[in-house]
């Protein structure tokens, strides 16, 4: 594992140079003090960020236990039956009370080190528990008390961590009384010796006899566990927010770094995520997105090395996969590209929305993200391969739709009002993906360079400029396996085209977007026409003319009428051909 000294090797040097610069320019003691505080804060933040980067991404609240008396094996199974914890309440002084319905935890052995080595590979514990049993006052006075004190002394040095002493009577008492029952005098001594202030950090765990409800044996212990976790969590949130405010206030100082700010604020977001407070976590990521666009508007992108998008598979990688690259390490090292940064931020936002079971919001945000990022990709197309944009948009749309369909299938909601906007947003993404297939189809000459297939191509698209060589360019510049399969043959291309169009039609029909569904039907009819399947094309064309009724025809639909009339002619429909020709003349736009 990378060592902190190596990781932070360059940054303290940079900070020292900046500090010397400020000292030379300083004219008063206050400025020097500010510079000193800033240097200490930056160095401490960098080390904290290193610990955060090295943490695992499997997020659970961590609890530790100290078991000097062999109690843990006796209670571990019973405790596991009461996990995850239920119905926690986070009472913050700065936010409304938040209910946490369920919270899973990792319970690990306690380490007596001030900064345990395990910190590098796990989350900071929120709660530390000490299990103790004792049968007589003499043992408590001579041995047990000092052992508890040694543990408490170490725990209190661990910042923002809570602790709890759990008294469990010994086995002799259990056998004698047929249940575990604490010695009141010893328990009172423990409370008197270690409870400080108003907070009660002691509890007893009594295994009951047949006359006592089993839940009562665990009630106070579980309650204090939940209270300790939420108290520690609140302290973590307060600390994060103080550090974030302080770092944000230093934006105008030399050496301020957006990437450092991002990692620190994301630490707060992931703390919320650990506690299953996904709405709060999403707010943090949304604020980070807003701050990024502010950096973009200020043209202060020095923290991003380049635009990116040049790594193998970037054009087809799952846009929702926030683990496909070491994003947080790249951010901390100031080497992340704009492409990777925006991909990571969007993936984290969608992660929170997925946890909140909001597929509609994911699809709607995806439309905005893809549209916005498409502009950035076009602005940097000179650095990217041909058809990078089409492959990336297609892959992004399909990954999002497939993930959201899985999510929508498991949503447990009595009312279905969410399905209409969901199907509309999903249909739009499917149609956008199908548009990319049109562009690619023209490029590899599986589709003719005519309407409606070229309506989504830009005027300066290289596919239109050099159709002779475009087929090879398309194949060499994409990595999406499904697209590569589609361009291998006309049959494979048509199969994908039909499947994607049919999915879009079904989603449009499900949300009542009849006109949009008919538009896709027209695309299918055009495909049938160019494949000389005139009978199938005519059936679709005639169905469309009936369903449109009194609605007017636009340029694309005139194109469809022209194809329909010609298909009638090819089929030898002598009576219908003049009819469609007349309709075409009537609705043809006047020049």
The tens digit of pLDDT for each residue in 456-480 reads 776 555 555 555 555 555 656 789 9
DSSP string, 398-419: HHHHHHHHHHHTT---S--TTH
How far is the C-alpha of 207 from the C-alpha of 202, rounded, in Å?
A: 17
pLDDT tens across 42-69, in order?
Answer: 444 444 443 343 343 557 999 999 999 9
Q: For tokens 């008492």, what's the residue?
A: 173
pLDDT tens across 423-458, in order?
Answer: 999 999 999 999 999 999 999 999 998 888 888 776
98 pairs with which residues across the strands?
90
How far is the C-alpha of 351 from the C-alpha of 399, rounded, in Å?
A: 13
Which range has the worst mean pLDDT, 177-186, 451-460, 468-477, 505-514?
177-186
Phi, psi of 74 (to 5 degrees): -80, -25
Q: Are strands 98-103 and 162-167 parallel, antiparallel or unpaired?
A: unpaired
61 pairs with which residues across the strands?
105
Contact 82, 218 (CB under 8 A): yes
Instruction: Give domain limits for the chain.
Output: 4-54, 61-237, 252-343, 357-531
3-class DSSP state of 294: helix
Place 6 in a pLDDT band, splitting at 50, 70 and 90.
very low
3-class DSSP state of 545: helix
Taking every pair of Cα atoms in the chain, the longest distance, rounded to a whole number of angstroms, is 112
- The CATH-assigned architecture of domain 61-237 is 3-Layer(aba) Sandwich (3.40)
Mean per-residue pLDDT, 473-501: 89
Contact 130, 163 (CB under 8 A): yes
How far is the C-alpha of 261 from the C-alpha of 256, rounded, in Å?
A: 8
How far is the C-alpha of 380 from the C-alpha of 314, rounded, in Å?
A: 14
How far is the C-alpha of 78 from the C-alpha of 167, rounded, in Å?
A: 16
How far is the C-alpha of 527 from the C-alpha of 494, rounded, in Å?
A: 8
Residue with the bigger pLDDT between 473 and 282: it is: 282
Average pLDDT taken over every residue of the chain: 81
């Amino acid at each position: 594992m990378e060592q902190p000294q190596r990781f932070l090797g360059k940054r303290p040097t940079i900070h020292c140079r900046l500090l010397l610069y400020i000292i030379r320019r300083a004219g008063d003691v206050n400025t020097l003090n500010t510079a000193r505080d800033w240097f200490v804060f930056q160095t401490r933040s960098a080390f904290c960020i290193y610990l955060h980067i090295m943490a695992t991404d499997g997020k659970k609240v961590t609890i530790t236990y100290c078991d000097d008396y062999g109690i843990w094996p006796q209670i571990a199974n019973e405790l596991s039956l009461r996990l995850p914890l239920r119905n926690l309440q986070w009472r913050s002084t700065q936010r409304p009370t938040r209910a946490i319905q369920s919270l899973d935890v990792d319970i690990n052995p306690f380490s007596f080190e001030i900064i345990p080595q395990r910190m590098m590979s796990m989350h900071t514990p929120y709660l530390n528990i000490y299990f103790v049993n004792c049968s007589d006052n003499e043992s408590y006075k001579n041995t047990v008390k000092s052992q508890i004190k040694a543990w408490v002394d170490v725990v209190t040095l661990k910042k923002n961590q809570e602790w709890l002493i759990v008294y469990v009577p010994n086995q002799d008492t259990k056998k004698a009384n047929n249940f575990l029952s604490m010695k009141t005098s010893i328990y009172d001594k423990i409370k008197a010796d270690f409870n400080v202030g108003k907070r009660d950090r002691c509890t007893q765990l009594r295994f009951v006899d047949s006359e006592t409800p089993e839940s009562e044996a665990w009630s106070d212990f579980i309650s204090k566990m939940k209270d300790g976790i939420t108290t520690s969590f609140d302290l973590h949130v307060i600390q994060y927010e103080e550090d974030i405010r302080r770092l944000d206030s230093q934006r105008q100082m030399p050496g301020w770094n957006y990437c450092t700010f991002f990692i620190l604020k994301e630490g707060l977001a992931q703390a919320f995520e650990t506690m299953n407070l996904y709405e709060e976590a999403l707010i943090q990521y949304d604020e980070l997105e807003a701050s990024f666009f502010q950096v973009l508007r200020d043209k202060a992108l020095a923290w991003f090395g380049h635009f990116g998008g040049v790594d193998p598979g970037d054009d087809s990688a799952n846009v929702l996969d926030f683990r496909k690259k070491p994003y947080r390490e790249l951010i901390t090292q100031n080497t992340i590209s704009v492409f990777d940064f925006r991909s990571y931020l969007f993936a984290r936002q969608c992660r929170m929305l997925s946890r909140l079971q909001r597929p509609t919001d994911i699809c709607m945000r995806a439309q905005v993200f893809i549209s916005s990022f498409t502009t950035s990709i076009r602005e940097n197309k000179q650095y990217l391969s041909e058809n990078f944009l089409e492959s990336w948009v297609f892959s992004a749309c399909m990954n999002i739709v497939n993930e959201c369909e899985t999510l929508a299938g498991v949503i447990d909601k009595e009312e279905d009002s969410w399905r209409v906007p969901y199907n509309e947003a999903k249909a739009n993404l499917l149609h956008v993906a199908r548009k990319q297939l049109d562009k690619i189809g023209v490029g590899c000459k599986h589709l003719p360079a005519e309407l409606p297939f070229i309506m989504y191509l830009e005027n300066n698209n290289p596919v239109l400029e050099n159709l002779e060589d475009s087929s090879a360019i398309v194949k060499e510049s994409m990595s999406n396996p499904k697209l590569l399969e589609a361009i291998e043959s006309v049959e494979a291309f048509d199969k994908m085209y039909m499947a994607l169009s049919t999915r879009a039609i079904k989603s449009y029909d499900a949300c009542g977007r009849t006109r949009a569904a008919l538009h896709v039907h027209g695309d299918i009819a055009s495909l049938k026409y160019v494949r000389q399947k005139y009978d199938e094309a005519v059936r679709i064309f005639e169905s469309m003319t009936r369903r449109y009724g009194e609605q007017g025809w636009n340029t694309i639909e005139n194109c469809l009428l022209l194809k329909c009339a010609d298909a009638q002619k090819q089929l030898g429909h002598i009576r219908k051909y003049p009819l469609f020709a007349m309709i075409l003349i009537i609705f043809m736009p006047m020049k």
